[in-house]
Amino acid sequence: EAGVTQSPRYAVLQEGQAVSFWCDPISGHDTLYWYQQPRDQGPQLLVYFRDEAVIDNSQLPSDRFSAVRPKGTNSTLKIQSAKQGDTATYLCASRSLGSAETLYFGSGTRLTVL
């Protein structure tokens, strides 16, 4: 069984540039999460979906961040105008609501904003 796939692995931007992160969850997993993990900190939830619906995006900086999961499978997280404070690893995780509560994490995208 393939795991959670994320791309790109790394991104380096200047402030003000836009960037998109892509996530392909484990097949059949209906719940998908995006976490932001600053260096030497724990993951912080940005947004999560059940199928194509946003369940909670209260921690997503809505003026610059957006996330979609249009068909309830793959998901894209976009930063419209990056700031240095966005420097972090962006983790995607998925789980199957009907089974165990374990989250399966991807390898992450390490973003550096100069």
Q: Write down the least CB distance from residue 63 to other proteins, Å.
A: 20
Q: Which is nearer to other proteins, 7 or 107 (CB)?
A: 107
Q: Write down the least CB distance from residue 102 to other proteins, Å.
A: 5
β-pair partners for 97: none
β-pair partners for 20: 78
Of 38, 20, 15, 18, which Cα lies nearest the Cα of 77? 20
Amino acid at 109: T
Greatest CA separation for the chain: 42
Q: Binding marks (x or -) toward other proteins, 43..62, rule CB under 8 A?
A: xxx--x-x----xx------
β-pair partners for 66: 78
Q: Binding marks (x or -) toward other proteins, 84..103, rule CB under 8 A?
A: -------x-x-x-x---xxx
Residue 36 in the binding site for other proteins (CB under 8 A): no
Rounded Cα gap, residues 30 and 28, in angstroms: 6
Binding site for other proteins (CB under 8 A): 31, 33, 35, 40-45, 48, 50, 55-56, 91, 93, 95, 97, 101-108
